[in-house]
A and B are shown apart, each in its own frame.
Chain A
């Protein structure tokens, strides 16, 4: 069984890519940037908890929130399921596929063996679309993979019930009902206000703009938390990975958000949104400079206090720039 009409494409991010694939397949034509922007996905958070082996940061909203927000704002009815019993969860997937339904699934990225081993890490919030089954293999559309892939049943089962932080619990979903005539001109202003609020007004000291400043400050303490210079180098280079490589579309989703504001500006016929789009693109360029700088000093083991302070200052300036940007964005509507 296979849904042959499903069009597989690469996308920047797995959650938005999976959603775009499902919506396009169901007849609602949209883009990844629109899905990300309409769901107010842009974000920042500095995380230093026992859930992670080392302090880290996020540049998009909580995993799953893009899907939830989009469903709410576009009035899309999503059917979703979680399972305690893995066998029942695998059977439900087979039943849906047998009906020709393409199904979105949450999995642990570590078990996606169509990627080389060096790319795979335990990450419970990877999203894929499952479009069919052939014998013991499931046919997978993965936003990060160039072609349609196959995944063995036993690995998919492990990946869906991996346990751990943000465990997938066999989560499956698919759109059941979509409002094709939704008026985006009424929705876009709300999504922009919400994104600005998330960056400016959440009263938690490590979230939004405050999170960027926290990152800039705490970076100076990282040298005390590492095993050795190679570990330090690895963590500093990971700044580049988190901003550029882990499904962000570059510059920590800032480029993707620029694309959203550009498209939103056309829909709203708003030159102001077009200007804001150019501004966040420029902010994205500066995040990219930080990525390049982090990779360079990491590789050269140029990680003395002065160099880390320089990197910290660059990040702090991004906090300043984004504070001005989101305050301005909030005033547009």
Chain B
């Protein structure tokens, strides 16, 4: 494909593509991502809907936060079991609230590290009301105590 047909003007997400250049040689060009430029709105909408759906299932005690994060992060159970150093059978028990409630703090910490979240986020979700989203900034910072995070909420 010709360079001019591949090139997309999208600053936020750049990639290297290979293309036919003006001099008929083939080589790399840096271009914006076609998908990000044209389909990111749809991606965000689906992510938001999935998050809400999974959150409602956790609230209704149908699934555990472990299954919530595994599904949301598109991880496979075999991969997660290996990272969490447990069998697939044992992992599948943690997908249900009863199994999750039996996990020890050290195991919760391991899951939190895999999901790259504070341990406390396995027990809570922060939601900013729609109208205020643009005005508020939230940041969670680790401390020297690995189980203790500080959540900072600032007005922009």
Write the residues of chain A forming the contact surface with B, with a CB cutoff of 8 angstroms.
10-12, 31-33, 49-54, 110-111, 118-119, 121-122, 143-144, 146, 158, 162-165, 167, 230-231, 233-234, 237, 240-241, 244-245, 249-251, 255-256, 258-259, 262, 277, 281, 284-285, 288, 295, 298-299
What A residues does B16 contact at CB under 8 A? 10-12, 143, 249
What A residues does B26 contact at CB under 8 A? 33, 255, 258-259, 262, 277, 281
- Nearest 9 CB-CB pairs, A to B? A255-B18, A259-B26, A163-B83, A12-B16, A164-B83, A250-B17, A249-B18, A50-B78, A53-B76
B9 within 8 A of A: no
What B residues does A158 contact at CB under 8 A? 113, 116
* Contact yes or no, A51 B42, CB < 8 A: no
B19 within 8 A of A: yes
Could you list 11 A-B pairs, sorted by A, with CB under 8 Å? A11-B28, A12-B16, A33-B18, A51-B78, A122-B73, A164-B79, A250-B18, A259-B27, A281-B20, A295-B35, A298-B39
Write the residues of chain B forming the contact surface with A, with a CB cutoff of 8 angstroms.
1, 6, 13-20, 25-28, 30, 33-36, 38-39, 42-43, 46-47, 49-50, 71, 73-80, 82-85, 88, 113-114, 116
Bound Cα distance A231, B49 (Å): 10
**A145: nearest chain-B partner, CB-CB:** B14
**A49: nearest chain-B partner, CB-CB:** B78
* Contact yes or no, A285 B1, CB < 8 A: yes
* Contact yes or no, B35 A240, CB < 8 A: yes
* Contact yes or no, A53 B17, CB < 8 A: no
Bound Cα distance A281, B46 (Å): 34
Bound Cα distance A164, B114 (Å): 10
What A residues does B84 contact at CB under 8 A? 163
* Contact yes or no, B80 A288, CB < 8 A: no
Bound Cα distance A33, B20 (Å): 13
**A282: nearest chain-B partner, CB-CB:** B1
What B residues does A53 contact at CB under 8 A? 71, 74-77
* Contact yes or no, A111 B116, CB < 8 A: yes
* Contact yes or no, A163 B85, CB < 8 A: yes
Bound Cα distance A327, B24 (Å): 25
Taking the nearest CB of chain B, how far is it from the CB of A186, in angstroms? 23
Interface centre among A119, A231, A240, A245 (most CB of B within 10 A): A245
* Contact yes or no, A255 B19, CB < 8 A: yes
Taking the nearest CB of chain B, how far is it from the CB of A73, in angstroms? 22
